[in-house]
Amino acid sequence: MADTVATPPNAKFKPRIFSGIQPSGGLTLGNYLGALKRFVEKQDEGIETVYCLVDLHAITVWQDPDALRRQTREAAAGFIAAGIDPKRSILFNQSQVSAHAELAWVFNCVARMGWMNRMTQWKDKTAGKDAEKASLGLFAYPSLMAADILLYHATHVPVGEDQRQHLELTRDIATKFNHDYKVDFFPITEPVIEGAATRVMSLRDGTRKMSKSDPSDASRINLTDDADTIARKIRKAKTDAEPLPETMDGLAERPEAKNLVNIYAALAGQSQAQVLADYAGQGFGVFKPRLADLAVEKLSPITGRMQNLMQDPAEIDRILGDGADRADAIAQPILKRTLDITGMIRSR
């Protein structure tokens, strides 16, 4: 008897990458190394790339409307300045494609309350607070996140470790929908976690993720920082008195040192081992200035391009609108087929 060859998962689906960033203000080095830099690289891999500014997610907590518009444009400028080509990738803001919200409702009815209650970020955001005062959107947003991804039949999503649980929920929702309706309609999306600095940590505390919400501006490098500010923040980054070791094992109990090595590796396009081979035995008096120079070299052009783009908000809006039209052209047939599968009558 001939051996049976298993069909690869998602073989029937066109390879497509989807990812989104919440435009809640202030793109950082963490966003660049953990997301934008990898997004740019994906454009050269021959896979369709769809990138979304998830403004519907942003309003799960109250946002000043003018600030949200400015932050959405700034995030779009950051994508483009980092190297996202709106002609090669689809770049748009989520609220311009209504199918996201429509599919999210279907998935609200597929997902289970127990799944949502187990979401770590929900627990973290409501820990020690009155959870009853949190918005329903904050509780249910993983279902919207699943809709964001599956609306495009995305086969791959670049995610950081902190988002892996939400992608697992997306896979659970796709699996349950396919099972409940006896179809093979939604792909079981695969995570893409790669690179030397997929999780960039605070410059003041190597055990905490670099965040735009940290009260200390010294904890992060903003993509809007000028060269002098970037260099100063790196020079003042928390470290220790020990020289750099020969292997990564020597950084196991040195989170701040490990973070700076990871950042250097990601900016330089090297492995951590390569960085340590170059700097083993040297102290941070040598390493930090080299890292500062590298960061300025890589980030200053992005900062300058962002500033130029922000001077023409109408052009940013045009780019986002064009991206929304292209996204909608993919999304509408998938949404309509979903509604057919679930038994919704549509006369147009």
Structure tokens at 226: 């000028």
Residue position matching structure tokens 């500033």? 307
Residue position matching structure tokens 């029937």? 12
Active-site residue flag, 236: no
Structure tokens at 284: 């941070």
Tell me which residues of the chain have a pLDDT lower than 70: 1-9, 126-128, 160-162, 194-198
Helices (H), the chain: 29-31, 37-42, 55-58, 65-82, 99-108, 113-117, 120-126, 136-150, 164-180, 227-235, 255-268, 272-279, 284-310, 313-342
Q: Does residue 19 sit in helix, strand or coil? A: strand
The pLDDT of residue 64: 95
- Per annotation, catalytic residue among 176, 212, 238, 336: 212
Give the residue from 92, 80, 88 showing the smallest Cα distance to 45: 88
The pLDDT of residue 161: 64
Give the β-pairing of 190-192 and 48-53.
unpaired
- Per annotation, catalytic residue among 12, 14, 87, 125: 125
**CA triple 36-33-62, angle to 5 deg:** 65
Alpha carbon distance 5, 337 (integer Å): 30
Sign of CA dihedral 298, 304, 306, 309: negative
Alpha carbon distance 291, 148 (integer Å): 37
Active-site residue flag, 125: yes
Sorted by sequence, the CB contacts under 8 Å of residue 278 that are 6+ apart come out as none
- Per annotation, catalytic residue among 12, 133, 176, 209: 209
> First vs last Cα of the chain: how many Å apart?
51
Sign of CA dihedral 198, 201, 203, 206: negative
Answer whether 93's CB lies under 8 Å from 320's CB. yes
**Adjacency order of strands within the sheet including 156-158:** 90-93, 48-53, 16-21, 156-158, 190-192
Residue position matching structure tokens 């509604």? 339
Active-site residue flag, 14: no
The pLDDT of residue 5: 42
Residue position matching structure tokens 């809640």? 24
Give the residue from 339, 332, 342, 340 showing the smallest Cα distance to 153: 332
Residue 148 Cα to chain centre, angstroms:
13
The pLDDT of residue 238: 94
The share of the chain scoring above pLDDT 70, in percent, equals: 94
The pLDDT of residue 6: 45
Answer whether 291's CB lies under 8 Å from 265's CB. no
